[in-house]
Amino acid sequence: MPNIFPYPPPLPSAWPWRFCSAVVHNVTIRFVFSLVLGLVATLACHAQPPNSTCAGAALLCAEQPQTANNTGSPVNMLGGCPATGAPLWYSFTTNSQGGIVNVTVTNIDCPLISGTSSEINAVVLSGDGTCNLPAFVQASDCEQGNDEVTVTTVPLAANTRYWVVISGAINGMDTLPAQCDFALMLSGPGANIINVDVDAGPDVTIEEGNDTQLNGQVVDLTDFTWSPTSGLSGTDNLQPIASPASTTIYSLSTTVAGCDFTDQVTVEIIRLINPPNTFTPNGDGKNDLWEIPGMADYPGAQVVIHDRWGQVVYRSTGYRDPWDGTAKGRPLSVGTYYYHIQLNQLEGRSPPYVGFVTIIR
């Protein structure tokens, strides 16, 4: 196959400048042609993104970052702002309150290709609910940059669909728009769903053995789930009764405008007292009494201790004098004994504390 760009034949030595000019011109053409081939190869490695048009707009969900690359999107397709191309389209729906929305583009990484820019452009558009392009108007300024770009909208209407267009900028002498990797995230009072349209309620602290009512809220009362289910009175109720055996984080999940969201509530279980499970009443002055930290706060507490046959070996109202491991003044044998403690708080009776304590001599 003949060379597409053949060197010119040798020229008389009287015209050396013509030969040099021809060679330089030829090398320049080869260089430009190589750059074009490189760009074509780059584009060929990237199929056209499905969201390169409004009809294929990808879904944006609040506080859920996405990564993308606009390589392969038509370079001659306007990106919603002047001097842009290779657009990617996204859409989102505002929450039930509406308000200002932020779109932040980060991690912008554009390959260095001659004739292309290295900046990304972003804009938010409002429309008539369809992809009728003449109906679109800007809901934000056009912003661009090569490091981080943040677009802030005017206050947006509640429960309304809007569009975001991310495109490559065409600056100065550039002939092609930037085609880059980037990440983007939607946020702001008009977009955030957690604690607005999905709320698992405030965290709760309860005493061991007690229960509490959760206070979940979602927009769609027919589409939600609680997890885990252990300790709940039911999962088909936004306000179930929770009585977990230990501290538990419950998750309330639902779908809003095609996006999945989960909020969490913690039910913390506390023990007002923590009776030790051993003591050594051997008269050495160390650990001779069954001391229970915090019992002094409950002067009306009832403490009952019995042996493995169920016979009561100690009974007390209040715990001013801790048990010394005796019954009727006589030392009890080494072994395991069982307690039942009712605190009798001023705010009402709470579930009893039950367990075992072992005498070691």
Give residue-wise pLDDT tens across range 108-161: 999 988 888 899 999 999 999 888 888 999 999 999 999 999 999 999 999 999
**Cα–Cα–Cα angle for 109, 113, 114, nearest 5°?**
140
CA dihedral 153, 154, 159, 162 (to 10 degrees): -50
What is the value of pTM for the model shown?
A: 0.75
pLDDT the model gives residue 138: 96
Residue 116, helix vs strand vs coil: strand
pLDDT along the chain (361 residues), means of 10: 32 33 40 44 66 95 97 88 94 97 97 88 94 92 95 97 96 89 98 96 92 93 91 93 96 96 96 94 94 91 96 95 95 97 77 94 86
- Buried b or exposed e, range 118-150, using 16+ CB within 10 angstroms: bbbbbbbbbbeeebeeeebeebbebbbeeeebe
Contact (Cβ atoms closer than 8 angstroms) between residue 59 and residue 90 = yes
Q: What is the pLDDT of residue 235?
A: 86
The pLDDT of residue 337 is: 98
Question: Would you tell me how many other CB atoms lie within 10 Å of the CB of residue 220?
Answer: 12
Please state, in angstroms and rounded to a whole number, the distance separating the CA atoms of residues 14 and 251: 88
pLDDT of residue 41: 46
- Of 145, 119, 109, 115, whose CA–CA distance to 40 is shortest? 115
Q: How far apart are CA 151 and CA 6, in angstroms?
A: 52
CA 104, 110, 114, 115: dihedral to nearest 10 degrees? -30
